Amino acid sequence: MDLKSAAYSPELFAACGQELCTQLETYLAEKHAREGRVTPVLDPPAMIAAAREWMQTTAPTSAEGLPQRWSAMIETMLANAQNLHHPRYIGHQVPAPVPIAGLCDAVGSVTNQPMAVFEMGPWATAVERALVNALGEQLGFTAGSFAGFITHGGSLANFTALLTTRNVALGDAWEDGVDVPSQQSLILTQADAHYSIARAAGMLGLGTRNVVKVGLDDRRRMCPRALRTELEKARDAGRKVIAVCASCCTTPIGAFDPLPAIADQCEEFGVWLHVDAAHGGAACFSGQHAHLVEGIERADSVVWDAHKMLFVPALCAFVFYKNPVHRFEAFRQDAPYLFDPTAPGMAEYDVGLQTVECTKRAAGFGLWGVWSLFGSDLFRTLVEETFALSHQFYDELRDSVDFIPLHEPQCNIVVFRYQPPEWSDVPLEEMGLRQLKLRRALIETGAFYITATKLDGVGALRVTIINPLTTIDDLRGLLDAIRGFAR
Ligand SMILES: Cc1ncc(COP(=O)(O)O)c(C=O)c1O
């Protein structure tokens, strides 16, 4: 068989697919059994060199040997992966995804359903619209009277929503550019908001200096009293507030801003409310935790990442607009070769009009597949179990003599320090540095993967319990491992 025929051969594809599934089955079983390292040895130059070595400089002359080569390639990929399916992966806000979601994504990849116009990804568009409707209703928006779409990640989602409010607030900024004198327009957010908010302000020409950080309460949530002060200050100075950006929840400690009080003030001052619910939006699936996002249905725009707490592979981020008219405010462009005037009704389904992307991956297949196969109650279970385990971990930290939790968790993010009695005289800065060193030592062993953060400038350890197979014994093992290193 010549190489072109081999590249498009259904038989070779099937053989490679079966080999892939066999290897992934073994991989998942091993990780679930806690075998091997969580994080591979992190040597970027060696990895890059090894990857380059695989890329054949002399083309093979026949298809012979391709299945064996494929098998070895998969082994290499799995051996060098970060292992989110290992229950001792307790790191960033990136889940051990429901594996079958990856198979659903594969359907989109193999058939290639790029979506800018409905015609190029009809089922992908239908799936996206169905998910937008179902998730938006779950958030509390009124069925049939809101809009939304999927985009490539929470950062791009925040950017697109803030571009929309900038265009709405500043009239002709899309056409004329942002020519307001510096210091004129503001975005109000809170100190722990994700950096993509400030980055969006920079990209939108509003200026990162014009992102004002509203004061926090004692649980690091936006303080409504401080928000009122900033809104009054802006009004008195004649400065336009483009948006109040609330977090549900914040990245460092998972704090949920009090939406009802914030929404009241946004209504009173006539300001756009944007809620970054990239991580915490999923709380609305749980009767027990939905109160955390109470009031989210009053937001003008909401961002929610399914590739966080809905346990699907990256990237699958949603943007919602309470007022469906706003979906066409971000981009006021014509692309005549895409949008056919002979079928004007169809443009409603051409998502390219609403997104930064033109060609867009069929990013909804994984979530749609999991939801359709297992039902949405799975999301409730995953949210409730990971939140409950996080609280149990917090209790263990609080009851220990050598660890201190730095907050009571509202979700599945817990920040803490190792601080045994004999370190009581260690200055705070050095205490923070020791936490970072402990983390580095820990992840280099491959036994656990956790993250670090800084609270008020001082280093701390941080876990996100986002692998549903993690147990309290894994977390106790983590504490013992930290103790061992500290000694
Ligand atoms: C609150 C919040 N917003 C936005 C983002 C950015 O999302 P993404 O990584 O999908 O761009 C994150 C990422 O952790 C986040 O925690």
Which residues pair with residue 150 across a beta bridge? 318
Domain boundary among 65, 83, 101: 83
| Residue pLDDT tens, the chain, 487 long | 889 999 999 999 999 999 999 999 999 999 999 999 999 999 999 999 999 999 977 778 888 899 999 999 999 999 999 999 999 999 999 999 999 999 999 999 999 999 888 999 999 999 999 999 999 999 999 999 999 999 999 999 999 999 999 999 998 889 988 876 555 899 999 999 999 999 999 999 999 999 999 999 999 999 999 999 999 999 999 999 999 999 999 999 999 999 999 999 999 999 999 999 999 999 999 999 999 999 999 999 999 999 999 999 999 999 999 999 999 999 987 766 666 778 777 888 988 889 999 999 999 999 999 999 999 999 999 999 999 999 999 999 999 999 999 999 999 999 999 999 999 999 999 999 999 999 999 999 999 999 999 999 999 999 999 999 999 999 999 999 999 998 8
User: What's the confidence (pLDDT) of residue 336?
Assistant: 63
* Cα–Cα distance for residue pair 292/85, rounded to 1 Å: 28
Q: Whose CA is nearest to atom 7 of ligand 1?
A: 154
Q: Is residue 91 part of a domain?
A: no
Q: Are residues 367 and 385 in the same domain?
A: no
User: What's the confidence (pLDDT) of residue 180?
Assistant: 63
Residues with Cβ within 8 Å of residue 252, at least 6 apart in sequence:
192, 220, 413, 415, 453, 454, 455, 462
Residues with Cβ within 8 Å of residue 487, at least 6 apart in sequence:
none
If you measure from the C-alpha of residue 276 to the centroid of ligand 1, how many angstroms do you get, rounded to a whole number? 8
* Cα–Cα distance for residue pair 158/319, rounded to 1 Å: 8
At 256, which amino acid appears? F
User: What's the confidence (pLDDT) of residue 159?
Assistant: 98
Q: Whose CA is nearest to atom 4 of ligand 1?
A: 154
Range of the domain at 34: 3-83
Taking CA atoms, 319 is separated from 73, 133, 159, 325, 480, in Å, by 37, 12, 10, 14, 41
Q: Is residue 449 part of a domain?
A: yes
Which DSSP state fits 75? H
Helix, strand or coil, per DSSP, at residue 89? strand
If you measure from the C-alpha of residue 154 to the centroid of ligand 1, how many angstroms do you get, rounded to a whole number? 5
Q: Are residues 366 and 382 in the same domain?
A: no
If you measure from the C-alpha of residue 74 to the centroid of ligand 1, how many angstroms do you get, rounded to a whole number? 29
Q: Are residues 384 and 395 in the same domain?
A: yes
User: What's the confidence (pLDDT) of residue 333?
Assistant: 75
Q: Is residue 95 part of a domain?
A: no
Q: Are residues 307 and 419 in the same domain?
A: no
39-82, pLDDT tens digit by residue?
A: 999 999 999 999 999 997 777 888 889 999 999 999 999 999 99
Closest by CA to 220, choosing from 5, 406, 87, 472, is 406
Q: Are residues 63 and 161 in the same domain?
A: no
Q: Are residues 183 and 319 in the same domain?
A: yes
Residue 380 near residue 311, CB atoms below 8 Å: no
Phi, psi for 403 (deg, rounded to 5): -120, 150
If you measure from the C-alpha of residue 486 to the centroid of ligand 1, how many angstroms do you get, rounded to a whole number? 32
Residue 364 near residue 121, CB atoms below 8 Å: no
Helix, strand or coil, per DSSP, at residue 128? helix
Determine the atom of ligand 1 nearest the C-alpha atom of 315.
Answer: 10
Domain boundary among 36, 67, 83: 83
Q: Which of 305, 309, 319, 413 to mutate to test the pocket of ligand 1 (most atoms within 8 A of CB)?
A: 305
CA 245 from centre of chain: 17
* Cα–Cα distance for residue pair 322/297, rounded to 1 Å: 8
Q: Are residues 370 and 383 in the same domain?
A: no
Q: Are residues 35 and 177 in the same domain?
A: no
If you measure from the C-alpha of residue 35 to the centroid of ligand 1, how many angstroms do you get, rounded to a whole number? 30
Q: Which of 92, 221, 245, 251 to mutate to test the pocket of ligand 1 (most atoms within 8 A of CB)?
A: 251
Q: Whose CA is nearest to atom 8 of ligand 1?
A: 154
Q: Are residues 156 and 144 in the same domain?
A: yes
Strands (E), 83-234: 147-151, 185-190, 211-214
Closest by CA to 125, choosing from 364, 306, 316, is 364
Q: Are residues 384 and 432 in the same domain?
A: yes
Q: Are residues 159 and 239 in the same domain?
A: yes
If you measure from the C-alpha of residue 303 to the centroid of ligand 1, how many angstroms do you get, rounded to a whole number? 9
Q: Looking at residue 131, which CATH number applies to its domain?
A: 3.40.640.10
* b/e code 31-48 from CB counts within 10 Å (16+ = b): beeeeebbbeeeeeeeee
If you measure from the C-alpha of residue 29 to the centroid of ligand 1, how many angstroms do you get, rounded to a whole number? 29
Q: How many domains does the chain have?
A: 3
In terms of DSSP H, where are the helices of 57-121? 66-79, 99-111
Domain boundary among 348, 374, 400: 374
Q: Which residues line ligand 1 (CB under 6 A)?
A: 93, 153-155, 158, 194, 196, 247, 251, 276, 278-279, 305, 315, 317
Global confidence as pTM = 0.96
If you measure from the C-alpha of residue 134 to the centroid of ligand 1, how many angstroms do you get, rounded to a whole number? 22
* DSSP of 265-330: HHHHHT--EEEE-TTGGGGGG-TTTGGGGTTGGG-SEEEEEHHHHT---S--EEEEESSGGGGGTS
Determine the atom of ligand 1 nearest the C-alpha atom of 92.
Answer: 14
Q: Is residue 17 part of a domain?
A: yes
* Cα–Cα distance for residue pair 288/328, rounded to 1 Å: 36
Taking CA atoms, 254 is separated from 226, 280, 411, in Å, by 20, 8, 6
Residues with Cβ within 8 Å of residue 295, at least 6 apart in sequence:
258, 259, 260, 262, 263
Q: Is residue 228 part of a domain?
A: yes
User: What's the confidence (pLDDT) of residue 343?
Assistant: 78
